[in-house]
Structure 1
Amino acid sequence: MSDTPCGFVRTPEAGTARLRWAGSGWVVDGRTPVVPELRVLRALEVEWPEREAPLDGLMRLAGAGIPLTAERAEPWVPAALAELLTDRDWLEHAPGGLRSVADLRREEHSVRLRRLAHPVRPPKVSIVMSTRRPALVASALAQMERQRDVEAEVLLSLHGVPFERVREAVESCTLPVRWVEAEQSVPFGEVLNRAAALAEGDHLAKWDDDDWYGPRHLADLFMALSYAEADVVGTTAEFFYLEPLRTTIRRTTFATGATYPSEVYADHVAGGTIMVPRKKFHDIGGFPALPRAVDREFLKAAHEAGTRIYRTHGLGYVLRRGLGGEHTWQLPLAHFLKVAVNQWHGFRPSLLMEAG
């Protein structure tokens, strides 16, 4: 998996090394690059040869998530790559402290390089969302409309909500939308399955009505599904907006202190980000017909069936948290402050959210 970001290290332990063309290949300190050894570096500085050189080896490093940078780019370097390599603003941030964004900006740069190195065809995705909160439907649909590099349709489960309460939002949406209505007494998992049964896309993607998603959320999930050769993919639950405190936190560890990495095979991903091929979804048995913990039990069933689950970066996803009783994942706000590696006042997502 050396040509993929699997094993990406969020916080580097070493500085910058130099990547240069040696006549027959790209080398670091005179040696052929070994990706696991490079993961501890903050960056690789590209030194261009006098003559045009093949970029395959350089792009493999980009695809592996190694942050590459260059003071300039030669005219023969493709424009998109040149623009990324010479964008060095991310290097200006100092590490350390709750408000430091040095590691975050480095990872954002890495993700942009991965996107360039792992081009994929736009997938056909059926977005499955259940809601009991009609006031949130318009904003959720607007975020779905922002999704780039995918062909999306929306499958909306109205859980105890009559269609008339969301008609305006649905009819204003530029994406194809189909919906089902279910009584509030129907278990949450069954409500999701009824919507999923309408899917025409090749992949299903679960969506939560009260969270925020970046415009490349679905495309990044599909990219990870492809390069990891996984059956189920999702992101880390990494960014949280604590609404009562008007505070954004980022967590990269569990409360126990154990690391919570991205770009790994795992048995857990953020429930609101699950993507799975439609056939595999049915092979797993669909969502369990339970009132709560549907995501957890779906992933448990997938794991027990030998399904390959991959957790990719969570920079394009922000979970909203209010008071403990408002969410299935019932934890006090103090818990999120305890596990925060970063903390900022206000809504401060990753730049990949393109929140303006």
Structure 2
Amino acid sequence: MSSGDTPEKHHRWRVLAGEPGRRHHRKWPVSYLGAGLTEIPRDDAATADGPREGDLATRVLVVAESVDWLRHVLDDPISLALVRKLTVVVLDWTGPTRSWCGRLGPLLHVVSHQVRMPGAEGQVEISVEVRWSKTLRELIAAILPLLTPTLPLPAPASADRTAQEVFPSWLDAGHNATVVVGELPGNEDIRPHDLVLTGSGLPQPPQNPDLPGEVPATGGTPAGYGTVLAVSSTGAGVGGRPDVVLVNPEQTELWGRYGPFGPTGGTAELTFTGAGDGHGWQLTGPDGASLGGGRLDRPRTGAMVAKALTGTGTVICRTMPARHPVEEAALLVQLMSAGILVHVPDLPPACAAALSDEVRALVVRPLPEPHADVFDWELRTVAQRRAALRQHAVSFALPRLAAATFPGLVDPPSVSAVLVTKRLDYVRDAVAAIEAQTYPNLEIVLCLHGVELPAGLRAELAGCRRPIETLVLAPGYGFGEAIGAATARSRGTLVTKFDDDDTYGPEHVWDLVLARQYSGATMVGKAAEFTYLQTLDTTVRRAAGDPESFARVVAGGTMLISKGDLEAVGGWRPVPRSIDRGLIDRVWYSGGLIYRTHPLGYIYQRRSDGHTWDPGLEYFLRDGGTQWSGFPRYHEFGTVPAVEDVTDGFDVPAGRRS
């Protein structure tokens, strides 16, 4: 429900969330609400100014068409109404897996809560009662983990975010993100606020008169605040001159969408309508039929956009009016994040200014030729989606915008690449593949298992541009114990495993971190979809599970998990082989989710010298798709140099030598 929508008047008040015109709440009789529900005033003034002082409901019902629409209740001023008993009904719910069961998020003073779930999909009903009233926002934030994975990226340090008088749609519902109406409360013992988001870029002074919180006449940040950023009127961006588009990946339809690619996958036209205030947008199919549309100043969900573009791989926008440049650019980013290849041949400067250099370069680049291989279109689409997420997802972009105040919070989470090997001939290439990664905050943990590091090779590794930690273990250590010892030496917030005999593209680690962010899964990885058969000198692409989906397994040489989650499930099993399966099983049986992202940038190798698991070459050739002689010659796989290097501010740090 958008800020401008007012529900039909009944003798019982209810919050609604869903597409305009779809009044699902009529399915619920008034008697269901009970006599204890108090009506909250809801007129134009209340909508504009937020909940009035004293707005309080004994019991509130929220009926949402989907989880995405439930999130949009948080974007409305009514989310600050005080509630003691909340019932949430989600009419169309699908769990990430059939066996998944979420948990109620952190919430103080809970008296009771009840969950009625249909199994894998269907209608969900959740009721929560607290002893003392809390805002509707707090209660919904606690309910969301019951409905969808909400595991944030881990961080050793982060800024609290406070939105004052604004309700940006990209602001998450975590405990360190709050929304207030009116003056900001002060605090004598600690700086009251780290990062404040307002419409003007200037906050009201703290309520505590003892704090020197007056706003300077010349602008700037008053005492008692870390920094203040302006949010655009619709919450599409932040910054000021110019605004920068921000998106929340949780509101983008990423799960389960991968392809189609190329002209045969379908092409749609995006147009912006000039009627009225010029906020309209429309998607049109090749036959001129409308695929869907909406308004830039109204909520939209990833599911809503994905449904409109079912069977569509490319969207072309030939004209952008730039009447609302930040909002128009935000729609482009949402489409790109959902795995749609977007092309804007004539991008207006005002819209371009709200996009990062990397995204801007990709969106104006000419499309592949219609007769080009579908794989070329796939590579281009994945590159564009990756750029949109790492440059405009709020968890990465917002710290960059506050870099002047918090320079130590700019880097994405630190990652440790753990490499355990007893084959010295493979060490150079394996370390080089990690060193070539574009991810900026990455260290290498090299564990030599039962072999010594020769002096010449040690000297070569000393010149590595990445921080590198080396350790040598005696042959008596089992493989599981060895990787456990290597992990103990790691200092990254996230840990990923590299295998010495596989091939990795330069964006591989970025792909895993992004997947961890938008999936909320405990473990993420890729499938061994591309397999190199050394005996035949051939790479085959085979069916290995659906990309961009929750799965039971991922390739062991691609697993990424936070160090805290790894230790929480007991770490690696001390087994002599199948250590990957051992950890995957521990994650699964502890209730954690496993997510499989796209397969690009990773080639699983079957070498001639044998493997502990050997089903025979026929296993990998069976139901095979595309084949390449040797390795696929694409930069995505690290098999050819990059044509151009667009990192948009992410630099590889100098290494630590050990």
Normalising by the residue count of structure 2, what TM-score does the alignment of the two structures yield? Answer: 0.49
Code of the aligned partner of 2:499: D
CA contact (8 A) 2:484 2:572 kept: yes
What SS is found at the alignment partner of 1:210?
coil
Please name the residue that 2:447 is paired with. 157
- 5 Å-filtered alignment, 1:107-146, equals 107-119=378-390, 120=396, 121-146=411-436
| Equivalent runs, 1:95-244 vs 2, <5 Å | 101-102=373-374, 104-119=375-390, 120=396, 121-164=411-454, 166-244=457-535
Supply the distance in 2 between the matched residues of 1:92 and 1:58 (Cα, whole angstroms): 22
Kindly indicate whether residue 577 of structure 2 is the aligned counterpart of residue 292 of structure 1.
yes
The answer to whether the 8 A contact 1:137-1:209 is kept is yes
Residue pair 2:480, 2:573 contacting (<8 A) in 1 also: yes
Number of the residue aligned with 1:9: 258
* Whole-Å separation in 2 of the counterparts to 1:280 and 1:162: 32
SS in 1 for 2:495: strand
Percent identity for Structure 1 against Structure 2: 32
Is 1:261 aligned with 2:516? no
CA gap 1:92/1:329 in 2 versus in 1, 3 angstroms: farther
Q: Report SS of the residue matched to 1:330.
A: coil
1:326 alignment partner, one of 610, 628, 637: 610
Task: Count residues in correspondence.
Answer: 342
Deviation string, structure 1 residues 85-144 (Cα, Å, up to 9, x no partner): 2334435345xxxxxx40x22222222222222123432111111101101111111111
> TM-score with structure 1 length normalisation?
0.88
Task: Note if contact 1:128-1:196 (Cα within 8 Å) is conserved in structure 2.
Answer: yes
Alignment of 1:21 with 2:299, yes or no, is no
Match of 1:35 among 289, 306, 316: 306
Structure 2 distance, partners of 1:349, 1:288, is: 37
**Which residue in 1 is equivalent to 2:170?**
none
CA contact (8 A) 1:2 1:36 kept: no
> Which of 325, 339, 349 is matched with 1:75 structurally?
349
Residue 80 and residue 201 in structure 1: after superposition, are their counterparts in 2 closer, same or farther (change >3 A)? closer
1:39-54 map, 5 Å: 39-52=310-323, 53=325, 54=327
* Distance of 1:26 and 1:106 partners within structure 2: 25
- Identify the residue that residue 56 of structure 1 maps to in structure 2: 330
Residues 1:87 and 2:365 aligned together: yes
Q: Flag the 1:181–1:298 CA change in 2: closer, same or farther, 3 A.
A: same
Runs of 4+ in 1 over 6 A off after TM superposition: none
Contact 1:233–1:311 under 8 Å retained in 2:
yes
Kindly indicate whether the alpha-carbon contact (under 8 Å) linking 1:2 and 1:64 is maintained by their aligned counterparts in 2.
no
How far the C-alpha of 1:189 sits from its partner, in A, is 1.0
**2:564 matched to 1:279?**
yes
Contact 1:131–1:209 (CA under 8 A) maintained in structure 2: yes
> Residues 91 and 82 from structure 1, CA distance in 2 versus in 1: closer, same or farther, beyond 3 angstroms?
farther
Q: Which moved more, 1:2-11 or 1:208-217?
A: 2-11
Q: Is this contact kept in 1: 2:318–2:346, CA < 8 A?
A: no
- When residues 329 and 110 of structure 1 are mapped into structure 2, their CA distance, relative to the original with a 3 A threshold, is farther
Aligned equivalents of 2:368, 2:552: Cα separation in 1: 32
Is the contact between residue 419 and residue 446 of structure 2 (CA under 8 Å) also seen in structure 1?
A: yes
CA distance in 2, matches of 1:155, 1:81: 32
> Mean alpha-carbon deviation: is it higher for 158-167 or for 198-207?
158-167
User: Which stretch shifts more, 8-17 or 37-46?
Assistant: 8-17
* CA separation of 1:340 and 1:350: change in aligned 2, threshold 3 A: farther
Distance 1:351 1:129 in 2: 23
C-alpha distance after superposition, 1:164-222 (max 9, x if no partner): 36423432323222222223342211110001011111111101011111111111211
- CA contact 2:526–2:555 (8 Å) conserved in 1: yes
CA-based RMSD of the aligned residues comes to 2.2
1:148 and 1:229 mapped to 2: Cα distance? 22
Deviates more, 1:229-238 or 1:27-36: 27-36
Larger radius of gyration: 2
Counterpart for residue 301 of structure 1: 586
Distance 2:632 2:597 in 1: 20
1:98 aligned residue = none
Q: Shift in Å at residue 65 of structure 1?
A: 1.0
Instruction: Specify the SS of the correspondent of 1:163.
Output: coil
Contact 2:322 2:351 (8 Å CA) reproduced = no
Separation (CA, whole Å) in 1 of partners of 2:340 and 2:415: 29
Alpha-carbon deviation of 1:353?
2.4
Kept in 2: contact 1:158–1:182 (CA 8 A): yes
Aligned residue type for 1:209: D
**Contiguous gaps of at least 5 residues in structure 1:** 95-100, 255-259
| d(CA) in 2 for partners of 1:164, 1:195 | 19
Does the CA-based 8 Å contact 1:316-1:350 persist in structure 2? no
